[in-house]
Amino acid sequence: MIVINRAFAPVIQALGEQVLDLVAENVTELVMAHPPVSHPLFSAYRLSLLTEIRAYLARPSPSQIELVTAAENGAVLGFALCGLSPSGECGVYYTAVSKARRNQGIMSLMMRDIVSRYSVISLSCDVHQVSRYERYGFVPASVRKNHIVMVIGYPQEETPVLDEDQLKQQPPILQEQLAASRRSTKRAVDQANKAMKKLQKAGEGKAKQYLKQRLKQRAEDQQQRDLGQN
């Protein structure tokens, strides 16, 4: 039986390590730039992401960081990492489900738990994931780089967010970038970065066009409803 659990940071080490294992398994999906495993600097992207999420999980109390997990027989199958504003608005930062247990409703269990407890929620996702979050009541609101920002209610407040650029300057991450670069060639790194940036730029254009079409359709639907009431 899958059980939904909640914990506030700082979380216990055993739980945190299971979450970090899921993070390491899902780096490409979780990093906004979507670095492929074949990227010469993939190990640096992975370390940077792990460092960021580890910092959230270790944030001292009162942390305003909530971890929702789906577990079976003590094994964490999925997680959602959230930040909370002073008044209780929820920002969903990261979600992941074990690749071996996908398409079994695990993400739905976690999201429905979050939606049942918070009336104002925000997150961002790729265009192809929009329909998934619409099932839980989210609507497209804006664009964030190559992501669509999805909301329930009207988010107004800031949730606690770590400075990713500052995290990336930590010595272990810089050292891993250097080591990864030395394991490859400058040409290979440049080509991989160019390909990734091309895909990201295309994703940004796709997200902007998608939102424009959805907002237009929403306005037209509202106009039809208004006419029907008159």
Instruction: Give the C-alpha separation, 68 to 193, whole Å.
Output: 34
Q: What is the pLDDT of residues 57-77, one digit of tens each?
A: 999 999 999 999 999 999 999
Q: What is the pLDDT of residues 199-212, one digit of tens each?
A: 999 999 999 999 99
Q: Please return the burial class of 85, using the count of CB atoms within 10 Å of its CB with bins 0-12, 13-18 and 19+.
A: middle
pLDDT above 80 (res 229): no
The position carrying tokens 């329909």 is 131
Q: Which CATH superfamily is domain 2-229 in?
A: Gcn5-related N-acetyltransferase (GNAT) (3.40.630.30)
For the chain, the structural domain boundaries read 2-229
pLDDT above 70 (res 230): no
